[in-house]
Structure formats: structure tokens, C-alpha cells
Amino acid sequence: MIRFALAFALIPVNLCAQQAVPRETDRLLQQAALDALLRGGTITFYDDGQSRFYEDGRYTYTYANNGGTGYGYFTVMTDSTICIEFVTGASRCDLYVFDETDRLIVITEAGDRFPTRP
């Protein structure tokens, strides 16, 4: 239980307060395109963590190396962001863009960029 609490403590809270800033070479996605890309699918990051976006709006993030799973609900916004309300009460909004190589990148409020695997 403590391991899960520590994992959620590392997740930034209330990321909607500020806006992640894309690079000039990043391409934003329209709401419908972002929804169609992710709903019902899974994206994998280079550390082997996985975000799964269920058809019904549920969301899970499974940490690499059996590090546990976070549960919540996602909403696709109009500005190329997805906001997640975790069952713990924490929430976050991340910007989803394609970079100059057409790789999907998740950008956090702090500006951290997390590329996804093809």
C-alpha cells in the first residue's frame, strides 16, 4: 500500500493550472483526432510504462517493472490535452503532440517530454 501511495505522490497534481508549451516543430491534434487516436488503445513509453485509454473513458497507467497501476478517468480536451482524474482524487492534464518525426509525445505542465514507442 505504501508503494502505491509513493507512486501517486510522484504524479503532479492539478496540472491544468498552467499550460504545457509545445515546441515550434510540434503538431497539435484536434480533439476528435486525439480521441480517435487514443480511445480504446494503449501507448507505451520508453521506460515500458503504459497508458491505456478505455472506450468508456476509464484510464490506467501501469508503471514499468511491476511498479503498480494507477486508475482514473480521462477527458479529451479541445486544446490537444487529455485530463485525467485519478480515483485517489489527484488530477493532471498533459499535452499530446506529434514531434517533427511524427512520434507521439506527452508533455507535462513542467515541460517534461515523454516520447512514446511506435
DSSP string, the chain: -HHHHHHHHTS-S-GGGS-----TT-EE--HHHHHHHHTTEEEEBTTS-EEEE-TTSEEEEE-TTT--EEEEEEEE-TTSEEEEEETTS-EEEEEEEE-TTS-EEEE-TT--EEEB--
> Distance from CA of residue 30 to its chain's centroid?
16
The residue extents of the domains of the chain are 2-115
Residue 30 has pLDDT above 90, yes or no: yes
Residue 105 has pLDDT above 80, yes or no: yes
Residue-wise pLDDT for 47-96, tens only, equals 999 999 999 999 999 999 888 999 999 999 999 999 999 999 999 999 99
Predicted TM-score of the model (pTM) = 0.81
**pLDDT given for residue 18 in this prediction:** 54
**pLDDT given for residue 7 in this prediction:** 44
Instruction: Give the three cell numbers for residue 110.
Output: 513542467
CATH hierarchy code of domain 2-115: 2.40.128
